Structure 1
Amino acid sequence: MKKLMMATTQYGLTDIRAEEEFWDGIGLKVREAAERGASMIVFPEYMTAHLLSLEPSMLHDEACHYLDQLTEEYTRFFGELSAEWNIVIQAGTHICKVDDGEYANMAFLFFPDGRVETQSKVHLTPEEQIRWPLVAGDDLNVFETEWGKMAILTCYDIEFPELARAAALRGAELILCPSYTDSVYGYHRVRHCCQARSIENQLFVVLSGLVGSLSEDRPQVDTGYCQAGVFTPCDLPFAPDGILQIGEVNEDMTVLVEIDFHRLRENRERGSVAPFYDRRPDLYEHEHRKTLL
């Protein structure tokens, strides 16, 4: 199995003066990551909401309409960028219309050959349900790559162990977690759940997020807190704290690290513990049935 040079971003919310400045800034991050040898880069949840700073403050339904109008440009831009630099791009998430005409918070993964994988956020926060409002995804997409199977669990999704376990049972060995957390509380919920999901399922988890703040408040996205990183099981042959690589808190930066799937197989075969294999589903199902009585 191949090693994967992974780049994950702490994307800075800064004041921009034109839409071109937004796209050019992303293009620069992708180019720099590719030139440093990265084969994949992960951007944060709600990254395109940065463009709302160019417009007068909007209500959430107006913001959904505005962002959806950018979907064609978004997909064209990242598709061309992926091909140009021969790098897989997890382009954060983008608000767009789905088949029923409602809006979803959707993650996109662009491959250099033109392939695109998508994943709608499955678990919506109270704000996403009430203020936006958005519709939740009903399917988990576990997709094949040249490095193995992967899945995307967006921010709040990582806080539900059942979803990550479903991905692992379907063969995923890496979970991408684009996130947007605007407080220290929110960040640590997502961060610690990323590490818990990695330990429980003996797989890699990659976290990205928004950082910084805008000079003018926007009700959708105006400040972010994150320390992006790549996490592993807290067991041999990995570091005791389960951190493969991590960024500096709230700095606009890209974290670059090599992911070695052979080491993951070693952990699964010869680790001190094997929580992915030692689970007892019959007992859990029995206990679940007892709660329904």
Structure 2
Amino acid sequence: MMKKLIVATVQYGLADIASEEQFWTGIADKVRDAAEQGAELIVFPEYMTAHLLSLEPPMLHDEACAYLDHRTETYTRFFADLSRETNIAILAGTHICRAEGGEQGDYVNRAFLFFPDGRTEAQSKVHLTPEEQIRWPLVPGESLNVFETPWGKMAILTCYDIEFPELARAAALRGVETILCPSYTDSSYGYHRVRYCCQARAVENQLFIVLSGLVGALSEDRPQVDTGFSQAGAFAPCDLPFEPDGIIQAGETNRDMTVLAELDFHLLRENRAQGAVAPFYDRRPEFYENEHRKSGH
């Protein structure tokens, strides 16, 4: 396993675009720029391809899902080719596509991670927000994909997923040392919920979290995506040998930019072995199970 990972995480700017070509070209430019700066992995945000909806008149959510799903082949081919060309792994945000084996009209909010060797890993969002449950024709993911990378095991927890400690703990117990969190939050409230939960999960499980997000706004509202609030970053446990606040690197709030950070897995193992506290190892599962039985849940 490689001891260090240079990761680029994107504060992706929502802005008016004139064509689909402009959308894809803008993404390719960000990937090439990150690769030139030495990044080995780039993380784009949740709902990134929904930017394409700005090229069309406003749609209902089911119409928007069908519109985006029709671009799935283009999306996967584009990112597979770009990853191979630039020799960088690309978490291509999330993309709305048809649920495999689901009912007609069922869609998932799915993150795809493309590797230069042609491998692809995917993760459907497990916890749907109230809006996604009510307004979107989305169905939740039913399994957690823990996958091997040159930098150890990783998992993808999309936005709201990071607000559920059980999911990150399940990933950590399966050996995950880095959680990738593509997000879309349209307010300071939503952003800070996700951000603070990212940092809490890093402390609880003594691992790295990489957060990306949408920023900026479209000139015309779209019911699905129109404005974003984010400060992307990479986070570690708030303990030695890391910084007291657990921030490895963070961007400038709401600016269209890419944040580069170094994840040093030697330091992570040092933290797990010699940190002031060891919340990942000092868990008391039998105690929690007993309390769960008492609660009846």
TM-score after normalising by structure 2: 0.98
Secondary structure of 2:262's match? strand
Give the structure 1 partner of residue 192 of structure 2.
Answer: 188
Aligned counterparts, 1:254-273, within 5 A: 254-273=258-277
Structure 2 partner of 1:83: 84
- Matched with 1:137 is 141
Residue in structure 1 matched with residue 107 of structure 2 by the alignment: 103
Q: Secondary structure at the match of 1:5?
A: strand
Q: Which amino acid aligns with 1:15?
A: D
What is the rounded CA distance, in whole Å, between the counterparts of 1:212 and 1:290 in structure 2? 47
**Aligned with 2:24: secondary structure?**
helix
Letter in 2 for 1:209: G
**In the TM superposition, what is the alpha-carbon distance from 1:225 to its structure 2 partner?**
0.2
1:291, distance to aligned residue in structure 2 (A): 1.0
| Deviation digits for residues 97-130 of structure 1 (CA, Å, limit 9, x no counterpart) | 0222410000000000110000000000011011
- Within the candidate set 212, 232, 247, 2:251 is matched to 247
SS in 2 for 1:27: helix
- RMSD of aligned alpha carbons: 0.7
Match of 1:286 in 2: 290
Give the aligned partner of residue 32 of structure 1.
Answer: 33
CA distance in 2, matches of 1:243, 1:278: 23
Distance 2:291 2:220 in 1: 51
Equivalents in 1 of 2:136, 2:89: separation in Å? 30
SS of the residue 2:16 aligns to = coil
Alpha-carbon separation, structure 2, partners of 1:96 and 1:185: 28
Q: What are the superposed Cα offsets for residues 197-218 of structure 1, whole Å, 9 maximum, x if unpaired?
A: 0000000000000000000000
Alignment of 1:36-55 (within 5 A): 36-55=37-56
Give 1:83's aligned amino acid: R
- Amino acid across the alignment from 1:214: L
In the TM superposition, what are the counterparts of 1:14-33 in structure 2 within 5 Å? 14-33=15-34
Counterpart of 2:43, as a letter, is: V
Identical residues among aligned pairs (%): 76
Match of 2:62, as an amino acid? Answer: D
Equivalence for 1:57: 58
Q: What per-residue deviation string (whole Å, max 9, x for no partner) do you get for residues 45-92 of structure 1? A: 000000000000000000000000000000000000000000000000
1:252 Cα deviation after fit = 0.2
**2:67 paired residue number:** 66
- Residues 1:163 and 2:164 aligned together: no
1:123 aligns with 2:124: no
Task: Compute the displacement of 1:258 (Å).
Answer: 1.1
Amino acid in the other structure paired with 2:53: L
Deviation at 1:173, TM superposition (A): 0.1
Aligned with 2:154 (options 143, 150, 154) = 150
TM-score (norm 1): 0.99
Whole-Å separation in 2 of the counterparts to 1:133 and 1:67: 13
- Compute the displacement of 1:176 (Å): 0.1
Cα distance in 1, alignment partners of residues 69 and 139 from structure 2: 14
3-state SS of 1:251 partner: coil
| 1:172 corresponds to | 176
Kindly tell me the number of residue pairs found equivalent between the two proteins.
293
Counterparts of 1:38 and 1:267, CA distance in 2: 24
For residues 199-210 of structure 1, what are the structure 2 equivalents within 5 Å? 199-210=203-214
The offset of 1:94, in angstroms, is 0.1
Output the CA distance in 2 between the equivalents of 1:221 and 1:35: 30
SS at match of 1:4: strand
User: Shift in Å at residue 39 of structure 1?
Assistant: 0.3
In structure 1, C-alpha distance between the alignment counterparts of 2:264 and 2:40, rounded to whole Å: 13
2:221 to 205, 217, 228: 217
1:133 is displaced (CA, Å) by 2.0
Cα distance in 2 for residues equivalent to 1:125 and 1:33: 31
CA distance in 2, matches of 1:8, 1:200: 22
Question: In 2, distance between residues paired with 1:59 and 1:103?
Answer: 14
Runs of 4+ in 1 over 4 A off after TM superposition: none
Query: Which residue identity does 2:32 align to in structure 1?
Result: R
Distance in 2 separating the partners of 1:82 and 1:145: 15
